Structure 1
Amino acid sequence: MKTKTLLAASGLLAPTHALLRFGCSQLTVQRLDPLVNPGQSPSPHLHQIIGGNSFNVSMDHNGGHDLVKGSTCTSCQFTEDFSNYWTAVMFFRARNGTFKRVPQIAQTGMEGTNGGMVVYYMSDALFDTAQKSKVTAFKPGFRMLVGDPAYSTRDQARDWRQLTYTCMESQASRAPESIGFPKTPCKGGIMANHRFPTCWDGVNLDSPNHRDHVAYPEVGTFESGGRCPSTHPVRLPQILLETVWDTRQFNNKADWPEDGSQPFVWSSGDATGFANHADYVFGWKDDSLQKAMDAHTYVSAPMLKTQTIAQQNKCTVRDMVNEKFDGWLQKIPGVERLVF
């Protein structure tokens, strides 16, 4: 993606497009995955989760789980958003073979946020000044997965067009992007970017692999106004998740593996970066998201209610898996071997 596109998507250029951009603090860090491994505790690898506090081991919409009715708070800025979003957790692999969880950095203007991510919902292609395009908000029970924790090669990663990393020089850095982990120390940390598919089949709220009911545009990207394939004709908002991992404390190459290889590993055991992935379970209250998308506002949304960062930080869930994942560890929880 071109530099100007990335900068615009981050709210750093004039408002020539419509989007919501908001921060969500950390709801919990646990080895749970109710989308891919429902009912399994612990799940195969560790995740960082944001959103509504009804998150639990099993969240079957058909079984009656309602994120809005089941939640009493959300760790996101907009109080109507009880959705859950989660990604793998990043670890540092030291020269002596031990591991340490990498903390996260709040972005500019969101200082004080406890971990978490920045979330975008885009309703228009970038630089579409007419702002006439229409997106259909997700429906209750909608779920999807982007990326694959089993991938370990560049060819496999081509299945997902816009899962990338930015080796940050500063908080303003949004380019260049790489598909695998950065190979050199990053002055401002590593940003992981997750852009979800934006075309829906219009029928299924989920699919067995959590992927087949959605697709990317058949040409171009959402940001370039690319058209959806005939099999998935309904245009969805573009969801982008940004997580800034604070790798600055690990920039001393004398602490890196002796062979000079980059030292970061996803909690799935992937040291290539090609296993980058994220999960989404929709949980906006009533038609609040559709109203926000129809309004074509920029960053903020007057029709939505916001809460303070302190209130976001208070929204958490109990530990459902009793295991240590902080401090120096001999192994990453649940991981028996690394993939290089």
Structure 2
Amino acid sequence: MLGGAGLVAANVYASASEGWGDGSGTDTTGHVRSAGMATIDCPDVGSRLTAVPDAARADVDRELARLDQQTAAAYRQLQQAGSPDSNSLDATIMQPLKEQRSASIGRIADAIDRAGERPQGLDSLAACTLRPGDTGQATGTPADDGRQGGTDQGQSGTGQGGAGQGGNGPVVSDYADITAVQPDAPAPPAQAGASRGTFTSDCGVNANGLFNSDNVIVAPGVSNGAHHFHDYVGNQANNAFASDEDLARAGTSCADQGDKSSYYWPVLRLQNGTQERDAGAPGGGTEGNAGQIVTPKQVTLTFVGNPRGEVTAMPRLLRIITGDAKAFVNGPGNANASWSCTGYEDRQLKEKYPLCPPGSDVVRTFRFQSCWDGRNIDSANHRTHVAFTAVDGSCPAGFRPIPQLVQRIVYDVDAPSLADGGRTVPLFAVDSFPEQLHKPVTDHGDFINVFDEDLMREMVDCINAGRTCGPSGGDDSGTTASPTASPTAAPTSAAPGDGYTGQPGDGSAEQPGDGAAEQHGSGTAEQPGGSGTSAPAPPAASQPAEAPRHDVTTAPARTAKHDTDDKAAPAEPAEPRSTPARSVPARPTPPPSAPASSAPGQVTAAAYAPPSSAQPEPQAAQGGLAETGAHLWPGAIGTLLALSGLFMLLRARRLRY
């Protein structure tokens, strides 16, 4: 009886504890984790390729995607290796990685050489370095109300520092008490000729759960090109294989159906032991992106003007990436996301997640580049066709101001309990490339302009006239908007020697790549980048539904406490564009039969909308106590032993008397 009861207790305790970053030295797969959370630092090849001929882009995209795959695989090896000596790691991980990268870089150079001028200096980017873990300072010691105040030492990846549910972050030192942060300096006042209006588009909060680990901007045609999951609002057909025509024909979650733009960003997860449906999928749990996906409480998409003068219309299909998905190893030169709390938004954090006081929500903000070169809708490194304004709001020579997208995402999540590594109140973090360790500095946002041209003109007129305009033509024409929010100057360049060639934060047009591996063409506003043409797809209603891609799309739990109740109607097909599109396969769009009660953006391509029966489900692998049923068989055996012992005891007592 005692043995059986002991087996039950031991099994329940172990099952309730597994899967957490408790400093035990193991990750969620049971592999030994190296203390200090070492990572692999590889030079960013994509940012160096500022000019890629159209004919070479497909080959370059594939090889850049392969570079990311190689780094991710090497990082997993590093996690499994524990803490052997550096010579062993060099021989088993770093040298093979260098050889693989050298081969891919050689194929990139050959592809560009066949179509144009061979790039110089790429060979020097093959070698990666093993970056040891470090000790971080975390702001905060536990207070009575669960918040943090003061200073606490956190050892990255060990002890109370934790290592997140996926074993690769976040850690205690990634968080800071927002109340201890000094307010930011006020923005310079707008000049007399400033375009002071605002235009807001309401596209919901992704309550219908549209996710994938693709990135059509940096990795067209490459499944799992992002190696982490994105939230999508607006355009409902965005995935790695979406052509321009697919985006133009797609439905939209936006209240104004004239906005089919795609807005996407890495998902935020709670490290609470929950296993989402992507727990065993690329981009999800297999790459260290674990935990419960949080649905935003609020998403605000506001386009603002320029503090010096009028703005001009964005070109259709303009692509903008802000922030750097690999800023942890690349350096913060292109980092451009900021974190704060409601009630404290006069203070912004770049390299820490905020610890918000009770009653305050986490706020995540992106201010996109707002200067355009007047010609290209994209560039080879996805940077040089757009730029940030200088501090005074001026654009670089040859660039013109366009409406600036300011994206504000609010989450109803509590400040994590740092003293116990997030066991009592879970840590939260954005998805990231596995070797980026879920650092907040890696946060980034993506935007593709698929506004109807009439609606874009309305936006520009509204902003230049100083009005405040909203969805479906809503216009407070009698009210002058407050002056434009502080202009975002270009991020400061990375430190010398980090492989970056960026210019200081002076509004220079030259913006290094964001570390995303793949390149996408530098087409003009009239002709998008990329070679080849694709035949017009049949109308949406005539296209068959496609089975969901398990490796890309999931239907995680709705975790936000305040989902919106917006409705989205099917958008009418747009006229086929007469210009060539990228040569990627067309994706089917859904039949126009979505029920009227569908959640925002439910009019999605069938390949991405989860089936109605695909509800979030607890999975057996390493989770909290509620999710460990499949691992409780030792406890079941213990229960049988205890009951058998009790039965024999009672029988012996009866026989005795």
What is the TM-score with the length of structure 2 in the denominator?
Answer: 0.39
**Separation in 2, partners of 1:29, 1:200:** 29
**Separation in 2, partners of 1:293, 1:208:** 28
| Inter-CA distance 20–98: structure 2 relative to 1 (3 Å threshold) | closer
**Separation in 1, partners of 2:346, 2:405:** 19
Q: Do the aligned partners of 2:322 and 2:446 also contact (CA within 8 Å) in 1?
A: yes
Paired position in structure 1 for 2:201: 22
| Inter-CA distance 4–46: structure 2 relative to 1 (3 Å threshold) | same
Which of 43, 62, 67 is the aligned partner of 2:247? 67
CA offsets per residue over residues 213-261 of structure 1, 9 Å max, x none? 11111x20xxxx5100114x2111110111112322x634465358x9x
For residue 328 of structure 2, give the secondary structure of its aligned residue in structure 1.
Answer: coil
Tell me, yes or no, if structure 1 residue 298 matches structure 2 residue 468.
yes
For residue 37 of structure 1, give the secondary structure of its aligned residue in structure 2.
Answer: coil
Give the aligned residue type for 1:83: S
CA offsets per residue over residues 108-159 of structure 1, 9 Å max, x none? xxxxxxxxx210111243xx8xxxx321121122112111211116x82233
| Inter-CA distance 194–208: structure 2 relative to 1 (3 Å threshold) | same
Which of 377, 383, 398 is the aligned partner of 1:205? 377
**Separation in 2, partners of 1:255, 1:75:** 40
Give the aligned residue type for 1:274: V
**Separation in 1, partners of 2:242, 2:266:** 18
Q: Which moved more, 1:176-185 or 1:135-144?
A: 176-185
- Structure ID, larger Rg: 2
**Separation in 2, partners of 1:19, 1:139:** 19
Q: Following superposition of structure 1 onto structure 2, how do residues 37-48 of structure 1 map, counting pairs within 5 Å? A: 37-43=219-225, 44-48=227-231
Higher relative contact order (CA 8 A, sep 6+): 1
Paired position in structure 2 for 1:335: none
Q: Which 5+ residue runs of structure 2 have no aligned equivalent?
A: 1-182, 188-194, 275-287, 476-564, 570-598, 624-657
**Separation in 1, partners of 2:258, 2:422:** 45
Q: How far apart are 1:35 and its partner, in Å? A: 1.3
**Separation in 2, partners of 1:47, 1:325:** 17
Give the aligned residue type for 2:218: V
For residue 178 of structure 1, give the secondary structure of its aligned residue in structure 2.
Answer: coil
Q: Following superposition of structure 1 onto structure 2, how do residues 1-340 of structure 1 map, counting pairs within 5 Å? A: 2=184, 17-25=196-204, 26=206, 28-43=210-225, 44-61=227-244, 65=245, 67-68=247-248, 70-71=249-250, 73-94=251-272, 99-107=290-298, 117-125=299-307, 133-152=309-328, 156-160=331-335, 162-166=336-340, 168=341, 170=342, 172-182=343-353, 184-187=355-358, 188-217=360-389, 219-220=390-391, 225-231=392-398, 233-248=399-414, 251-253=416-418, 256-257=421-422, 263-268=427-432, 269=434, 270-296=437-463, 297-300=467-470, 303=473, 309-311=566-568, 313-316=599-602, 317=604, 318-320=606-608
Would you tell me which structure has more strand in proportion to its own residues?
A: 1
Equivalent pairs: percent with the same residue? 20
Q: Which moved more, 1:133-142 or 1:198-207?
A: 133-142
Q: Which 5+ residue runs of structure 1 have no aligned equivalent?
A: 6-15, 108-116, 332-340
For residue 445 of structure 2, give the secondary structure of its aligned residue in structure 1.
Answer: strand
What do you get for the CA RMSD once the two structures are aligned? 3.7
**Separation in 2, partners of 1:164, 1:235:** 22
| Inter-CA distance 92–124: structure 2 relative to 1 (3 Å threshold) | same
What is the TM-score with the length of structure 1 in the denominator?
Answer: 0.71
Count of residues in Structure 1 that have an aligned counterpart in Structure 2:
287
Q: Do the aligned partners of 1:101 and 1:325 also contact (CA within 8 Å) in 2?
A: no
Q: How far apart are 1:95 and its partner, in Å? A: 8.8
**Separation in 1, partners of 2:254, 2:462:** 20
CA offsets per residue over residues 61-81 of structure 1, 9 Å max, x none? 3xxx2533x12x311222210
Q: Do the aligned partners of 1:18 and 1:124 also contact (CA within 8 Å) in 2?
A: no
CA offsets per residue over residues 265-317 of structure 1, 9 Å max, x none? 32114432110111111100123112222123214267469xx8133734232
